[in-house]
A = this chain, B = another copy of it.
């Protein structure tokens, strides 16, 4: 099981980036995104709409106390991964975490030292400043062994058909 924790969300200012994090998490077969900071119904609704149209059981949930959430996940035997420019290189860690239940933490602007300490692995994608969105995508792409590239969601109202030009089909059973 793959879950995400997005830290320090701010209404308006972070809405689009957190949405991109969530859409990436969903398409890359995560089951849930927790987020801390400010509770944001607009953000939550935009993800619900995507689920309704394109399928998947992906959910979002606001958490007031992300440190406690992490501690609870550790008790439930989740491996805690923190994606940060400063972490260890992914190829060195990948074997150690394959097939585990994981919680992936992504910032947020400044991430407090507690999160580095609580994490089982601080992992960097490229050891350069990039984006939590691209770091999450490449991490999950490797973790899933590319499985997400050709996966589909059964409960979709609209299904995108890979094609040279735009092509979708409406699934009448799910309308």
Is chain A's interface secondary structure helix, strand, loop, or mixed overall? mixed
B23 pairs with A20, CB closer than 8 A: no
0/1 interface trace, chain A 128-162, chain B, CB 8 Å (1 if under):
11110111111001000010111111000000111
Residue A175 interfacial (CB < 8 Å) = no
A-B contact pairs, 20 of them (CB 8 A): A23-B128, A23-B130, A24-B131, A24-B133, A27-B125, A27-B129, A86-B160, A88-B163, A88-B164, A89-B150, A116-B165, A126-B148, A127-B152, A127-B160, A131-B133, A133-B137, A134-B134, A135-B137, A138-B138, A138-B141
> Is A166 an interface residue, CB under 8 A from the partner?
yes
